[in-house]
Amino acid sequence: MFYDKHVDADPTTASNLIAASAPVPTEAPARPNERDPRRRILDATVETVAARGYDRTTISRILQSAHVEEAVFSKHFHDKHACFMQALDDLIGGAELAALEQFRKTAPWPERVRLGLQSLLRGLARNPHGARVALVEVLSAGPDARERQRSALALFTSLVEEGRSHAASSGHLAPQTSEAIVGGIASILHRRVLEGDIAELPALHKDLTYFALLPYLDHERAMAVAEL
């Protein structure tokens, strides 16, 4: 995923208490995705599409990577595209939740923008396969996949649009200012991922923060936040 999930309470407390009184197992427990074939299929889809491209990805390749039978795949997904769309929704949904988590904080809006971009860039760098799928291969996966990406960009645009209320004067701002900012950032990330520079994305944090804030704040304020 592109983010670290925030948890309000520890959901493992009860299970930890039960485990404390249970016999010690002789073998290490299976990893969660080893117990969940659906999750294995989704993870394998992301990995395979990132490596081979959406068009060259086949169900047989996904099955080989996930180590599951075709009947297991058919139990969960109608076809390759349905599987891809679920994997894509998981990736983009994670990025959306991470952004919303930052923007629900009580910090000033410029700081929330900085933190949101930092979370996004670090998340992309941690998951290069997911970054490739969500920013590059999505464009080859049909209109519904591209629409899912556009819906995410619309959400980020609405979060940036809050900056209009922080501008000393908004009369000079075009109605599409926030849309242009988000589109510009998405274009930069797409190009960097396409070029294979995914691990270096966090280094863009300062420049992209400044770029996002400058239309709404003066140079000094935008630079001060970007350099935090």
Give kind and range of the element (H or E) at residue 47.
helix 37-52
> What size, in residues, is the chain?
228
Give the angle 40-140-191 at the CA atoms, nearest 5°: 95
In a domain, 38, yes or no: no
Q: How far apart, in whole angstroms, are the C-alpha atoms of residue 188 and residue 211?
A: 12
Instruction: Output the CA torsion 75→76→77→82 (10° steps).
Output: 170
Asked if 217 contacts 108 with a C-beta cutoff of 8 angstroms, the reply is no
Amino acid at 77: F
| pLDDT one-digit tens code per residue, 17-65 | 223 333 333 333 444 445 699 999 999 999 999 999 999 999 999 999 9
70 occurs within a structural domain: no
Whether residue 48 lies inside any domain: the answer is no
Read off the CATH number of the domain in which 100 is found.
1.10.357.10
Inside any domain, residue 90: yes
Residue 47, in any domain of the structure: no
Q: How far is CA 159 from CA 35, 65, 90, 149, 163, in A?
A: 38, 38, 20, 16, 8
pLDDT in tens, 67-112: 999 999 999 999 999 999 999 999 999 999 999 999 999 999 999 9
> What distances in angstroms separate CA 116 from CA 30, 121, 207, one per listed residue?
34, 9, 14
Angle among Cα 207, 208, 212 to the nearest 5 degrees reads 120
The reply to whether 207 falls in a domain is: yes
Does residue 222 form part of some domain?
A: yes
pLDDT, tens only, 116-170: 999 999 999 999 999 999 999 999 999 999 999 999 999 999 999 999 998 888 7
Does 27 map to a domain? no
- Read off the pLDDT of residues 195-225 as tens digits, 9 standing for 90 and up: 999 999 999 999 999 999 999 999 999 999 9
Domain count, the chain: 1
Q: Are 226 and 210 in contact (CB under 8 A)?
A: yes
* Owning domain of residue 132: 81-226
